[in-house]
Structure 1
Amino acid sequence: MNRHRILEGKILVSLLLIITAIVGLYWFVALNRVITVDNAQLKARLTTVRSSVNGLVEYSAVEKIRNRVDQGSVIVDLNTDLIAEEINATRYQITKLEKAIEYIKTEKELYLNGIQINKDDAILQRNIIQSEIARNEFELNKSNELLVSLDHIIEQEALAKKDIHDMEIENRKRKAEQEIQSLTLRQLNNTLKNLDNEKEKSILFNQREEELISEREALLSKLKILEYKITRYTYNTPFAGVINEVFVNDGEYVLEGQRLYILHAPESIYLEAKFYESDFSHLELGKEVSVTLDAYPNETITGVISKVGALTDGQLNVLPSSKITSNFIRIRQYVPVRIELKETDLSIIPGLMATVKLEK
């Protein structure tokens, strides 16, 4: 009887050992077929909106923090009074410059027209005087020839000396008139020369006009910048999402580059996990993984590998030396992997940690 019980006990122990070995072998094989990482974290398309100008906060939607908003929702609005005044002042200056440019153009045109009229008159007078000088010279030459012939007649026919005396007086008058005309001609030539010089002075009008145009162009550029800036005083959401944080309040003065708010798109949430480099050969695009969020330890979500990092996390920070030394320390590298989650009814937010299991 005792031997029978001893035999049964041995058989039972043997069975237990066999079952334990089988279960152990099963779990050993199962665990070696599954890669598990517990460093995964939920991430999303996160946008930080900063101020592109200096200004006073007129409105900030602090009440919308952690709430969903539509694309184009106003989150921060800056006061535009000062820049609006500057825009109006710049436009007024541009208008004044445009009037000044038109005035300069008109003055230059009148000035040049006046010079041209005076020049035309002087040329006409010069032509008349040149004709009179030529005519007087012709008459004088003719009179001199007549006097020579009269001297001969006096000797031959005893012509009265009084007639000759009158002709000589007339010749002297013609010579005096010719000298006056020559003087007038020289004066007219000088006048024409001066008028040409005056025309050259019109370059001053051109220079002033160019200066005014340059000032106007500078103001137009300034106005364009101001008109662009005033559109940057209202900060709308670039896409539909959830407001994570608003950093400013009504009445605050913000500086260019200062953070205004942070927004994320819930639909863009994905999981980023870091696998050991030894698991790299098992990281295939499209491969399914099991995800367990720390916030929901009893729930499992299915995910799909959508992207495998092109570099390890430590590649840019820790570069192994190319020299072989006795002090070389091998550093285990991690490969970042992006995992897209399939639809789930669980409420998830960026930042939650998770454990990922991948079958080899």
Structure 2
Amino acid sequence: MSTALKKYEKTDRILVRITYLVALFILIGLIIWGVFSMIHHWRYETTNDAQVKEYINPILSRTNGYVQEVKYKDHEHVKMGDTLVVLDRNEALVQQDIAKAKLRAAEAQLHVLESNQNTSNVSSGVNQSQINAAKAQLYQQQKEYERYKNLLDNNAVTPQRFEDIQTKLKVAEANFESVKRSYQTSLSKTTDVGAQIEVAKATIQEKKADLNKILLDLKYAIITAPTNGYMGKKNLQIGQLVQKGQTIGFIVDKNQSKWIEANFEETQIAALHEGQKANITIDAFPGETFKGTIEAFSAATGSQFSLLPPDNATGNFVKITQRFPVRIKLTDNENSLEQLRAGMSAEVSVPK
């Protein structure tokens, strides 16, 4: 056998031994991994169908208008009360001037009616005095008539004189009735003016409400941050028309804590309960473990809350293991949770 051939055989034996050793190490590693995995699955209920959750609040416009300024950038940190968007207020300012003018006109009309009411009250007082005077005059003429009637019966006065007294009595009676009607008319006028005053007061309240609405529109033209947090993507442009109730953006609320939403299979739910501790690892930070506590279970599977929940009575039934959303409260301090962002994938392990 040549020297070269012996050299190749020796090399092959070395490669085979190395291959056996590598295969042995891999097998040992797989066995160890399998043992630890079995122990882990025996001790924990786990799921990798989990995400970091935060409250993402929509920011709505409360009035109509054209965008004049956009004062935030994509993903910018803002504080509660910071100005985000300014809408054009020129039209609302004109409407405010018109509303103020209408309010002043309504108030002036009320003053006129109140003056008319005072005049009517004075007239009623004058008519009351005239009634008293006419009543006294009528009483005097009635007594005069009775006296002259007795004199006429005794032929102590001429018929011409009695007729004159009788005419004066009729005039006094007519005057008394006229004054009473004038008094009633003045009272009716006072009542009418009182009703008009109530209408004028209601009109003033209406004009004040219109003015307050315009003032609110002016206030709502400046859209501010409802809470501390991070803005989402900016979609508004200057000059864009914004309608009342339109969503102009989203803000990730930092005033409320983050949590984990873990979707456990229905076969795992029996081993879980509220208050149970949980270990969470985040895919973005593989070397770090976060602590949590099970806070609540969903009242139904996730599929039942979908837009079109499945109907197993249709006949095309395929049994699929369902998942229940489980809310897990993160118990680490806020500083350590600051690096977490909504939507990050997580893996949750709950000790049995």
- 1:188-247 superposed Cα distances (whole Å, 9 cap, x missing partner): 133134214413531332332232222222222323333333322222212221111233
Partner of 2:235: 247
- The gaps in structure 1 that reach 5 residues or longer are 1-11, 148-166
Contact 1:301 1:341 in 2 (8 A): no
Aligned counterpart for 1:349 among listed residues 332, 341, 347: 341
- The aligned residue for residue 61 of structure 1 is 71
Q: Could you tell me which residue of structure 1 aligns to residue 214 of structure 2?
A: 226
- Give 1:28 deviation, angstroms: 5.6
| 340-349 vs 175-184, which moves further | 340-349
Over 3 Å counting, the alpha-carbon distance change for 1:282 and 1:97 in structure 2 is same
From the superposition, tell whether residues 140 and 314 of structure 1 become closer, same or farther in structure 2 (CA, over 3 Å): closer
Q: What aligned pairs does 1:107-186 form with structure 2 within 5 A after superposition?
A: 107-135=116-144, 137-139=146-148, 141-142=150-151, 145=154, 147=155, 171-186=158-173
Residue number in structure 2 paired with 1:42: 52
Number of positions where the alignment pairs a residue of Structure 1 with one of Structure 2: 320
Higher deviation after alignment, 281-290 or 246-255 = 281-290
> Aligned partners of 2:117 and 2:233: how far apart in 1?
63
Q: Are the equivalent residues in 2 in contact too, given 1:291–1:354 (CA < 8 A)?
A: yes
- Show the 5 A alignment for 1:258-277: 258-266=246-254, 268-277=257-266
Partner of 1:199: 186
Q: Structure 2 unaligned runs (5+)?
A: 1-19
The alpha-carbon distance between structure 1 residues 73 and 25, as it changes in their structure 2 partners (threshold 3 A), is: closer
- Partner of 1:71 in structure 2? 80
Normalising by structure 2, we get a TM-score of 0.77
Taking the aligned partners of 2:252 and 2:135, their CA distance within structure 1 comes to: 89
CA shift for structure 1 position 19: 6.7
Could you tell me how far 1:282 is from its partner in structure 2? Answer: 3.0
| Paired residue secondary structure (2:282) | strand
Alpha-carbon contact 1:270-1:338 (below 8 Å) kept: yes
Q: What amino acid is the match of 1:336?
A: P
Amino acid at match of 1:289: N
Q: Partners of 2:337 and 2:192 in 1: how far apart?
A: 80
In the alignment, what sits opposite 2:325? 336
Partner of residue 225, structure 2: 237
CA offset digits 1:281-327 (Å, max 9, x no partner): 3334241314131x34x423223133232322134454776x8x986
Q: 1:6 is matched with which residue?
A: none
- Is the 8 Å Cα contact of residues 280 and 291 (structure 2) preserved in structure 1? yes
Distance 2:106 2:226 in 1: 40
For residues 196 and 113 of structure 1, what CA distance do their matches in structure 2 show?
11
Provide the residue aligned with 1:307 in structure 2: 295
CA distance in 1, matches of 2:223, 2:153: 102
Separation (CA, whole Å) in 2 of partners of 1:24 and 1:111: 104
The structure having more radius of gyration, on CA atoms, is 1
In the alignment, the residues of structure 1 paired with residue 30 and residue 232 of structure 2 have an alpha-carbon distance, to the nearest angstrom, of 53
TM-score (normalised: structure 1): 0.75
CA distance in 2, matches of 1:44, 1:20: 39
The alpha carbon displacement at 1:53 in A equals: 0.8
Query: Which stretch has the larger CA shift, 53-62 or 189-198?
Result: 189-198
Q: CA RMSD in A?
A: 3.4
Question: In the alignment, is residue 81 of structure 1 matched against residue 90 of structure 2?
Answer: yes
**Cα distance between partner residues in 2 of 1:303 and 1:196:** 89
Relative distance call for 1:143 and 1:307 in structure 2 (3 A) is closer
Aligned residue identity for 2:60 = R
Alignment of 1:14-29 (within 5 A): 23=32, 26-27=35-36, 29=38
Give the Cα separation in 1 of the matches to 2:174 and 2:296. Answer: 96
Amino acid in structure 1 at the alignment position of 2:194: N
Q: CA deviation at 1:126?
A: 4.4
1:245/1:263 contact within 8 Å kept: no
Instruction: Tell me, yes or no, if the aligned pair for 2:152 and 2:162 is still in contact at 8 Å.
Output: no
Does 312-321 or 203-212 show the bigger shift? Answer: 312-321
